[in-house]
Amino acid sequence: MTGSSDTSAIMLQTRDLTKRFGGVVAVDGVNFLLHEGEVHSLIGPNGAGKTTFFKLLTGLKPSAGEIIYRGRSIAGLMPHEIARQGIGIKKQVPSVFDGLTVEESLMVAALRVRSRRTATAEVAATIDRLKLGEIAGKQVGILAHGQRQWVEIGMVLAQGCELILLDEPAAGMTSEEVARTVELIGDINRDRTIIVVEHDMKFIRMISHRVTVFHQGRILAAGTPDDVLSDHRVKDIYIGNSAA
Ligand SMILES: Nc1ncnc2c1ncn2[C@@H]1O[C@H](COP(=O)(O)OP(=O)(O)OP(=O)(O)O)[C@@H](O)[C@H]1O
Ligand SMILES: [Mg+2]
């Protein structure tokens, strides 16, 4: 599946999605469209609302608007309920426990949504798929930064999710780790749909079928990586940002 085709089915859609924190409108009337099979990237300056948007997709109650996932409204559902429906997230902040081994970490994640028997099978498949076999018995606390990120991605995969949200998976990685992450996202995309938040434009170009740009809580532009990244309005917000 290429996922880049506009004719593939809509997997997720938001309508006028809005989140206010007191006087701050973090997400402001967002109409977002995701097709089955895509790698869809969200970009935008710091504070644009990308992480808040992910939080809304995974259980944070919106101030207004709707989230439709495969025809069902999911706004404000409990996080484990959303995971059961097939949406998983690797958060911007670390969510692994240093004292657990890689295998135990995957198991804890899988058991949140699966029976023990299914969880065991999913964990084994995930270790295989992400080539984590050599470090499966090691404590997460001693791993390199890149390996920890892959374990966190593995925790989402082990939940069997069909839509995977990755909030800054390549941040702080070496160029070798970034290259491995590009490969990994391509591999995961063979049978899962992915939304990625990232700041690294080279990385965005390598992985994305489509890109949506957030700015001040709103969608500024959406389209193919080439179209979006050459859009002068998009260039302007980044230039404005680095000059600030
Ligand atoms: N819990 C909160 N309470 C108050 N304001 C918040 C809260 N969470 C986010 N915000 C504000 O909402 C806006 C959007 O923040 P968000 O973290 O979604 O941005 P982001 O696009 O993920 O930024 P970054 O690229 O730096 O991760 C910011 O102004 C932020 O300060
Ligand atoms: Mg963020």
Each residue of 90-113: pLDDT tens digit?
998 888 889 999 999 999 999 988
CA of 66 to the centre of ligand 1 (A): 20
CA of 132 to the centre of ligand 2 (A): 27
How many CA atoms are closer than 13 Å to the CA of 244, on its beta-carbon side?
8
| Closest ligand (CA of 19) | 1
Residue whose structure tokens are 């090691």: 138
| pLDDT of the residue at 241 | 60
| pLDDT of the residue at 242 | 54
Q: How far apart (Å, rounded) are the C-alpha atoms in residues 223 and 88?
A: 24
CA of 197 to the centre of ligand 2 (A): 8
This prediction's pTM? 0.93
Q: How far apart (Å, rounded) are the C-alpha atoms in residues 198 and 165?
A: 11
| pLDDT of the residue at 51 | 97
**Atom in ligand 1 nearest the alpha carbon of residue 48:** 21
**Model confidence band, residue 158 (pLDDT cutoffs 50, 70, 90):** very high
- pLDDT above 50 (res 4): no
**Model confidence band, residue 243 (pLDDT cutoffs 50, 70, 90):** very low
CB 210 within 8 A of CB 41: yes
Average pLDDT over residues 152-177: 95
Average pLDDT over residues 175-181: 95
| Closest ligand (CA of 167) | 2
Instruction: Among 17, 20, 24, 28, name the best residue to mutate to test ligand 1's pocket (greatest count of ligand atoms within 8 A of Cβ).
Output: 24
Average pLDDT over residues 17-27: 97
**Atom in ligand 1 nearest the alpha carbon of residue 44:** 21
Q: How far apart (Å, rounded) are the C-alpha atoms in residues 174 and 198?
A: 15
24-41 tens-digit pLDDT: 999 999 999 999 999 999
Q: How far apart (Å, rounded) are the C-alpha atoms in residues 7 and 125?
A: 31
Task: Give 134's DSSP letter.
Answer: G
| pLDDT of the residue at 8 | 80
Q: How far apart (Å, rounded) are the C-alpha atoms in residues 79 and 109?
A: 13
Percent of the chain with pLDDT over 90: 87
CA of 214 to the centre of ligand 2 (A): 11
Closest residue (by CA) to atom 31 of ligand 1? 47
CA of 148 to the centre of ligand 2 (A): 18
| pLDDT of the residue at 207 | 98
| pLDDT of the residue at 33 | 97
CB 231 within 8 A of CB 62: no
Pairing of strands 163-167, 193-197: parallel
Closest residue (by CA) to atom 6 of ligand 1? 21
Q: How far apart (Å, rounded) are the C-alpha atoms in residues 96 and 109?
A: 10
Alpha carbon of 73 to those of 66, 68, 88, 89: distances in Å?
7, 5, 16, 18
At CA 158, angle to CA 177 and CA 202, rounded to 5? 30
Q: How far apart (Å, rounded) are the C-alpha atoms in residues 234 and 244?
A: 16
**Atom in ligand 1 nearest the alpha carbon of residue 22:** 4
Closest residue (by CA) to atom 18 of ligand 1? 49
CB 241 within 8 A of CB 45: yes
- Residue of 242 and 83 predicted with greater confidence: 83
| Closest ligand (CA of 30) | 1
- Residue of 191 and 4 predicted with greater confidence: 191
Q: How far apart (Å, rounded) are the C-alpha atoms in residues 180 and 183?
A: 5
Q: How far apart (Å, rounded) are the C-alpha atoms in residues 156 and 206?
A: 22
Q: How far apart (Å, rounded) are the C-alpha atoms in residues 241 and 151?
A: 32
| pLDDT of the residue at 2 | 46
Closest residue (by CA) to atom 27 of ligand 1? 46
| Closest ligand (CA of 91) | 2
